[in-house]
Amino acid sequence: MAGRPRNPELEKRLLQAAWELLTERGYDALTLAEVANHAGAHRTDVYRRWSSKAQLAVDTLTEHLPPIVARDTGSLLSDLRAILGAFAESWSSSWIDGVVALSADLQRDPDAELAFRRMGEGRGTALSNALDRAIERGEIAATTDRALVGDLIEGPLMHRRIAARQSLTPEFLDALAAVVHQVLTAGSSAKR
């Protein structure tokens, strides 16, 4: 016999309560019991859905994941600027603060770590599409390693935002786009 069907409205309330607690009080203050209290729900409602704080936080962050959308601008450099702008918007939001706070627990909770990795899988689509267009235009080599380019972009964003605690300014983003563009087009016989 099947259990009670899930209540999507209740789940939405719980995720919203978790988001509010995460952004207002921080990850350390987030507890499954406090989420239930904040949402006006029973503790069992939370414990049935999430077995750990880390798993709840991953689902909450997934629900509030800022999209990375970039249109075709006609050139790789302009596409990179647009993509970096979209990444910077999410890296400058409350969302990234939750990710940073969650990162330590991910190492202790393999299920939450797997869910966290899945959450980020689709974020490279805009970049992959931009690289495909650049290859079609002859701007970069067809052998370009998309994952490495993603790391080349996100690494400096992560360092500047988290380690250096600096803003992702338009000047920084333009400089980063220019450097990535230069690396990708080095040795290319295509017009720049």
Taking the domain 8-49, which CATH number applies? 1.10.10.60
CATH number (1.10.150.120, 1.10.3720.10, 1.10.10.10, 1.10.357.10) of 76-185 reads 1.10.357.10
pLDDT digits 0-9 by tens, 114-123: 877 877 777 7
Sign for the CA dihedral angle at 73, 144, 114, 21 comes to negative
pTM (whole model) above 0.85? no
pLDDT digits 0-9 by tens, 40-81: 999 999 999 998 888 898 888 888 887 787 789 999 999 999
Residue indicated by tokens 């909770």? 109
| Residue 99 Cα to chain centre, angstroms | 8
Contact by Cβ (8 Å): 160, 168: yes
